[in-house]
Amino acid sequence: MLDLATGEGLAEAVAGLDAVVHLASATRQYRKAAAVDVAGTRRLVTAAAQAGVRHVVYVSIVGIDRVPFGYYKHKLAAEQVVRSGPVPWTILRATQFPQLLDERLLPMASTLGVLLGDPEVKMQLVDPRDVADRIAGMLAAGPSRAIEEYGGPEVLTFAEIVEPWLRARGKRRPVLRLRLPGATVRAMRAGALTTDAVPTGTRTWREYLAERYEPMRRSQA
């Protein structure tokens, strides 16, 4: 058992390793983000240094330095822990995963019966398998001591996300387009969750939807 919040099992987990890929995060328990993402990252880096680890790859999020979201502040602080630590490092900031967006659309459609969003918000979904390939390349290359960004192959608006999602699921729901207030949404409208970095991932949102929902629809036919 490994627990970043307490440090339990860390020494055993990193013993004998040349490299550590750090993807752990309190994504569903934001109140624990400081204990896991910041203090936990510090514990991990310390344990890695003591074990002689030669490369830490920290997986972060595109836009954490531009979107004023509380969870992102913890991720940014965790990046600084890695950058200032004794172990050579590489930081990979990835754009949003399609699975995360899918999970957020499902309850909105089923509970509210309507899909609501800002029509000018931009997202650049990247498949986790593409990110995994990118991480493998970083491990092979060795520590760069740089922050690299990695996004999906297309930048999408709210409509370009929601309309194929409804078609893939074979559902009809009203789509309510509203210009939403707040600094976070304003940053997202400005493209803070997207990147111009190359190369990019290759799997598109529509390809994800086809893989996720076509087998389900065939089984129900």
Q: Tens digits of per-residue pLDDT, 165-193?
A: 999 988 888 888 989 999 999 999 999 99
- What pLDDT, on the 0 to 100 scale, is given for residue 176? 87
Residues 217 and 194: their CA atoms lie apart, in Å, by 31
Q: Give the pLDDT score at 214.
A: 83
Length of the chain: 221
At 109, which CATH number?
3.40.50.720
Q: Which residue has the higher pLDDT, 171 or 154?
A: 154
Average pLDDT of the chain is: 93
**Adjacent-strand bridge partners of 55:** 19
Give the span between the Cα atoms of 201 and 213, in whole angstroms. Answer: 21
- The span from the CA of 134 to the CA of 199, in Å, is 9
How would residue 28 be classed by pLDDT, with cut points 50, 70 and 90?
A: low
- For residues 91 and 56, the answer to whether their CB atoms sit within 8 Å is no
Q: Considering its fold, how many domains does the chain have in total?
A: 1
| Residue 171 placed within a domain | yes
Structural tokens at position 160: 């370009």
Has residue 21 been placed in a domain? yes
Residue 2 domain flag: no
The whole domain housing 214 covers 10-220
Contact criterion met (CB below 8 Å) for 210 and 168: yes
Terminal Cα-to-Cα distance of the chain (whole angstroms) = 43
Residue 52, pLDDT score: 98
User: Alpha-carbon distance 98 to 155, whole Å?
Assistant: 12
3: in domain = no
- pTM of the full predicted structure? 0.92
Q: What is the pLDDT of residue 146?
A: 98
Cis peptide before 164 (omega within 30 of 0): no
Residue 4 lies in a domain: no
DSSP per-residue letters across 132-182: HHHHHHHHHH----SEEEE--S--B-HHHHHHHHHHHHT----EEE----S
Q: Two tokens at 208?
A: 């994800």
Q: Identify whether 20 is part of a domain.
A: yes
Exposure letters 110-129 (e unless 16+ CB within 10 A, then b): eeeeebebbbbbbbbbbbbe
- Contact 103/28 with Cβ under 8 angstroms? no
Give a yes or no: residue 5 inside a domain. Answer: no
1 within some domain: no
